[in-house]
Chains A and B, each alone.
Chain A
Amino acid sequence: MYGWIWRHLPGNVWVRALISLLLVLAVIYVLFQYVFPWAEPLLPFNDVTVDNQ
């Protein structure tokens, strides 16, 4: 999977490394901004009230 991505990136090793880094950062951004905020309420840490459990 990662090898396939690496082979399909353009440019020499340095350009590919830079693009990979940007891709990784983009994935982390999407995770922190959208995916984790959605997943976190499914965990029990939000249950602090006595009425709506």
Chain B
Amino acid sequence: MARVGDKRNDDLAGSGSPGLSFYLPEVSRKHTVLHIPGSHTLYVGPLSCTRRHDIHARQYGERKDVSFLFISQADVVSGRYEDLMVESVGELLELLDPAPRIFQLAVFCIDDFLGTDETALLERLRRAYPQCQFAIDHIDPVSLNERMNMASNLLSTQYSFILPRAPHEHDNGVNLLGTFVPFDPDCDLLHMLAGWGLGPLRALHACETYEDYQAMGASRLALVFRLMNTASADFMRDRLGIPYIVATPSYDAQAVAHLYCDIARELGEPEPDLSAQVEACREDAQRTARLLDGLPVAIDCEFSLMVFAAAKALLGYGFNVRCIFRSNHRFKLDAQAESFILEQCPQVLVTRAESHTHLYESALGSDCLALGVDCARLLDARYVVDIWHDEGYFGFQGIHKLMAAIRAAVGKEG
């Protein structure tokens, strides 16, 4: 069995707190805020819960699209909480120009304990302001457990206002779910999709107008790049008639080939022969592993959303993966790979990335390669590859790009 770090402070099995957590200083990084054009978000909660959302909205130029309703303990006790929300929407509709078409009401952890009748609240809002559409988002990490993914719920409401189209109104468009930045122009995914005659590619982060947003309803296919978007994809399939394929980033060349074959089958196209690309990736990765000459590798959940699958792929190429910094949130995104690591790889230490134990005991010496800046900082790692949530890394090109980044980090271009 693999060693599992900080067992005493690491509740691996239960649905309660995973343990005490420590937060490293933020890394300066541009984050994309997904926003439906023409919508307004009203954050409703104690002032302390809302502060970060204001700061982020200002940081990314979205402040005009958000407002805040501060509730007091007296409002909680008196039950005025819901009345205040309805009144505030009315006030905002009078003040905001142009008036929003869509309101997203974001509530926080305390709402889980207040017994809000969400259906009745939405009914009231729709009756009072029939010109608007409404949804309630829950920003409630207190409810997180293996079965509950807050981000999944949040993301599903982002797409819930797209209206269905008649079959003849569908085009060859593809909805990209779970992307926050455009793909590299030389990414093989783009070439494969173009080769099958698919396009345009539509993603929420690229929508500039409400019409752009609604155009997602006309697409023929959706690709899901983050598993937390599967609820959105289910909505698209069930309500909009758009099928989807899970296309999470993988550093396993064979898995990439399987994905492209899945897409081909969905489209009724012949499966492509990608054996040459798979072999080229393998060679590149194995050569890079040899260049590292046994250098220990640590992998962080900041680097990849499916950190166990990434570790398994690298182990397969011959990298000396010694440590995995997993997320606090255990959604079993890559459960199969996690089981493989825990059962088959005793040399790999699995530890919780945010565990406070890293403040007084190091999971690995600093003479290592860290994939992800957080574990690099915790380990004071000698070599670092800064990749965040796989962004910019996809397909065969993503594997080659990762290998190039690793070689550059350790200064071995061989």
Q: Do A and B assemble together? A: no
B residues adjacent to A (C-beta < 8 A): none
A residues adjacent to B (C-beta < 8 A): none
